[in-house]
Structure formats: C-alpha cells, structure tokens
Amino acid sequence: MAYCFLKFAKWNPKMKTSSKIWEHNQIEGEISTLKANGKKIVFTNGCFDILHAGHVQYLEEASELGDFLIVALNTDESVQRLDKSPARPLQNEYSRCHVMASLGFVGAVVLFNEDTPKEIIEIISPNVLVKGADYEISNIVGADWVLKHGGEVKTIEFLPGFSTSAIEKKIIAAHKL
C-alpha cells in the first residue's frame, strides 16, 4: 500500500502546494478525472533528496512529454533501504514533497514506501513512464505494465556534473567529516 503523506503532524494543509500532494486514496479518483479530460499523464519517481539543476532539467523535460507530471517520491524509510549513503535521505520526506510540489511543471506528488513504485504505476497506468538514461528500458520498474496498457517508456539524459551523491561527497569533504 502506498504511503499517506498528510498523516504527518508537520504538514500544514494551508500551504498552497498541499493540493498537489496526493494521498494513496486520492490517486484513482484524480487519475480518472485527468483521463476523462483527455490529459496525457507522465510519471517518474525517485528520491530527489537535494533538488539541483540536474533534477530540475530532468523533471522539466519529463513534463514536456505530456499534460500532467506525477512524481512519486521514496519515503525516508524506503530511501534508507536503497544502496545509498547511510546519511540519506539528507532531507526528510516532508521537505522533499513540499519542494517537489512547488515546481510549477509538477502536477502531483505521491510518496511510496515500497522498494519500487510498481504498485503506484499500476494504479496510475501513465501514458508515459520516464526514468533517467542510466536505465535500460528493459530494467525500468513498471515498463512492462505501461507498454502492455498502450503507454510509452522514455529515458532522459542527465545534465552532466550534477548528482546528489556528488554534492553529498563535496559537503563531507569540505567539512572533513
């Protein structure tokens, strides 16, 4: 089951971005409305721990592939299960959701606590599934589902010189941690 973001006491529902952060029980209704209105839905996912120019370019390019971009973010717990630094995530899921939802070209943000976004992809059945070009289409979680349901799977090149891991290493080196 996907993770419900709005259960956090820190979340302020008066924030303008709150309508862009969907709880699990909202997804099907929101998607039905979008599809009924003929919107082409684009989906991507990731940790997006420290939002940088590479992320922004990637997300902006993804948004241009359709009418409505949905970004699924790993929860803090699922980030910690990934093969990343033990310090990750550097920003908590509350912060990452709020920052992501503030981007004008992002239509919606949803958190997932599973190891992969497969469940959310199957619920949404996006028209376009997007990942970075470091993935082979055959290795993209949910690609088979999207293709089987008439959608497309695309990869986008990264902006050279930008990565959260490199930024983390630079910070650690600067502070001799």
Least confident piece of the model among 14-28, 70-84, 132-146 = 14-28
- A 10 A CB-CB count for 167 gives 15
Q: Is 46 left (phi over 0), alpha (psi -120 to 50) or beta?
A: left
Residue 3: pLDDT above 70?
no
Predicted local distance difference test score (pLDDT) of residue 90: 80
Residue 2: pLDDT above 50?
no
Rounded average pLDDT over 79-100: 83
Predicted local distance difference test score (pLDDT) of residue 161: 66
Predicted local distance difference test score (pLDDT) of residue 49: 85
What are the sequence ranges of the domains in the chain? 5-174
Q: Which CATH superfamily is domain 5-174 in?
A: HUPs (3.40.50.620)
Average pLDDT score over the chain: 86
Predicted confidence (pLDDT) per residue in 40-54, tens digit: 999 999 999 888 888
d(CA 118, CA 139): 12
Phi, psi of 124 (to 5 degrees): -80, -35
pLDDT-above-70 percentage for the chain: 80
pTM of the predicted structure, to 2 decimals: 0.84
Task: Choose between 9 and 103: higher pLDDT.
Answer: 103
DSSP percent split of the chain into helix, strand, coil, nearest 5: 40, 15, 40
What lies within 8 Å, CB to CB, of 176 at 6+ separation is: none
The DSSP 8-state label assigned to residue 159 in this structure reads P
| Contact (Cβ atoms closer than 8 angstroms) between residue 72 and residue 117 | yes
Predicted local distance difference test score (pLDDT) of residue 79: 86
Band the pLDDT of 7: cuts 50, 70, 90.
Answer: very low
Residue 169: pLDDT above 80?
no
Predicted local distance difference test score (pLDDT) of residue 5: 41
Predicted confidence (pLDDT) per residue in 132-163, tens digit: 988 899 999 999 999 999 999 999 998 666 66
Amino acid present at 150:
G
Sign, CA torsion 113/114/119/121: positive
d(CA 95, CA 92): 5
